[in-house]
Amino acid sequence: MRSWYRRAPLAGAAVAALGAGAALTAAGSASAQGEQEVSEVSVVHGIPGQPVDVYVDGDAVLEGFAPGEIAGPLELPAGAYDIAVTEPGGDPDTGAILNIAGAEVPGDANLSLVAHLDEDGQPTLAPFVNEPAALAAGEAKLTVRHTAAAPAVDVRAGGEPAFTDLTNPNENTATVAAGTLEADVVLAGTDTVALGPAVLDLAEGTSTIVYAVGSADEQTLELVVQTIEGMHSPPEGVPSGTGGLAATGVASWWYGLATLSVLMLVGGALWSRSAAEQASQ
């Protein structure tokens, strides 16, 4: 009885619930946030070899959705949704491969709903929470999600371990300088490359989410990449002159000098005239 956006403590429960076709109903704080708040929900297909249709509350939102594809974001008002995944043309009520009944979508969240294999190779449907918070100018965010039927892995960036001992269905994330990064995935604690290397373009102000999907046994491991834009911030400022040649306005002491000069001119003239008058008497 929890909202699915609090994913970390939920992962096990979600998998169990989906396997049994049971309801993943939610209550409490999420629905209290109000009916009008909208969440963005992307759908990620990480199950090899099986195109599907995706239904939300009985309506087909995706047809012929192919492995490796990412759909959305769907904009869903906060509320409970029945989500079903079928073979193409299948019946969402009776022929679902995967489903979640009464999945609670909170307001104002960014979620990725991922159809993938669990560590044992069984299809599952799991939500991940994306946190598109603002990044400083020049930064990018990298997240890696282990959603493959494979053991624990390390993710290396430029040959150096970046994330270690990552297991299905967990994730790791880091904020890095924007730019390209050569990354690969190795079996945890080894140099045995399971995936990659791949050159990732981590665009500034963008979240790049890399899913490891497929099955190690079936040799269908691959990377699926989702990006979320719009997290950029402007630079701190634009310093573009150090010479003073183009100065407009003048330092305030110039105005003081001008005032003083007027006093000297007027005072001097008056004083001088009075002196002259006295001298002529």
Partner 1 sequence: MRGVHGRHAHGGARAGRGRVTALVAVTGLLLLIVSGVAIARGQVVTEVGGAEVARLSSPPPAGSPPPAGSPPPAGSPPQSPVPVADGRTLPSDQTRPPATLRIPAIGLSAQVDPVGVDADSGEFDVPPSIDRVGWYRYGPGLEASAGSVVIAGHVDSAAQGRGAFFRLPELSPGDRIELSDAGGGVHGFEVVGRTVYDKSEIPLERYFARDGAPRLTLITCGGEFDAQVGSYRDNVVVTAIPAS
Question: 204 to 263, contacts with partner 1 by CB under 8 A?
Answer: 204-205, 208, 211, 222-227, 229-230, 232-251, 254-255, 257-258, 260-263
> What Å distances lie between residue 241 and 115, 159, 247, 252, CA to CA?
54, 41, 10, 20
Identity of the residue, 40 or 119, whose beta carbon is nearer to partner 1 in the bound complex: 40
Identity of the residue, 9 or 234, whose beta carbon is nearer to partner 1 in the bound complex: 234
Tokens standing for residue 46: 């990480």
Identity of the residue, 19 or 77, whose beta carbon is nearer to partner 1 in the bound complex: 77
Q: Measured from the CB of residue 275, what is the shortest distance to partner 1 in angstroms? A: 4
* Whole-number Å distance between alpha carbons of 211 and 220: 13
Q: Which of the stretches 13-21, 24-32, 132-140, 168-176 binds partner 1 when contact is defined by CB under 8 A?
A: 132-140
Comparing CA positions, the residue from 112, 140, 137, 115 lying closest to residue 125 is 115
* Whole-number Å distance between alpha carbons of 208 and 175: 10
Told to check if 21 binds partner 1 by CB under 8 A, we report no
Told to check if 49 binds partner 1 by CB under 8 A, we report no
Q: Which of the stretches 91-99, 135-143, 148-156, 158-166 binds partner 1 when contact is defined by CB under 8 A?
A: 135-143
Contact residue for partner 1 among 12, 36, 133, 160 (CB under 8 A): 36
Q: Measured from the CB of residue 80, what is the shortest distance to partner 1 in angstroms? A: 10
* Whole-number Å distance between alpha carbons of 179 and 245: 37
Identify the residue whose tokens are 């949704």. Answer: 81
Site string for partner 1, 92-131 (x = CB under 8 A): ----------------------------------------
Contact residue for partner 1 among 104, 194, 199, 212 (CB under 8 A): 199
* Whole-number Å distance between alpha carbons of 43 and 100: 14
Told to check if 133 binds partner 1 by CB under 8 A, we report no
Told to check if 20 binds partner 1 by CB under 8 A, we report no
Identity of the residue, 41 or 186, whose beta carbon is nearer to partner 1 in the bound complex: 41
Question: Please, what's the b/e burial string for 241-254 (b: 16 or more CB within 10 A of its CB; e: otherwise)?
Answer: eeeeeeeeeeeeee
Tokens standing for residue 41: 């929900």
* Whole-number Å distance between alpha carbons of 11 and 5: 10
Q: Measured from the CB of residue 60, what is the shortest distance to partner 1 in angstroms? A: 7
Q: Which of residues 57-96 bind partner 1 (CB under 8 A)?
A: 57-62, 65, 68-72, 74-79
Cα dihedral 105, 91, 54, 222 sign: positive
Contact residue for partner 1 among 44, 155, 157, 221 (CB under 8 A): 44
Told to check if 47 binds partner 1 by CB under 8 A, we report no
Backbone φ and ψ for 126, nearest 5 degrees, come out as -135, 135
Q: Which of residues 159-178 bind partner 1 (CB under 8 A)?
A: 178
SS3 181: strand
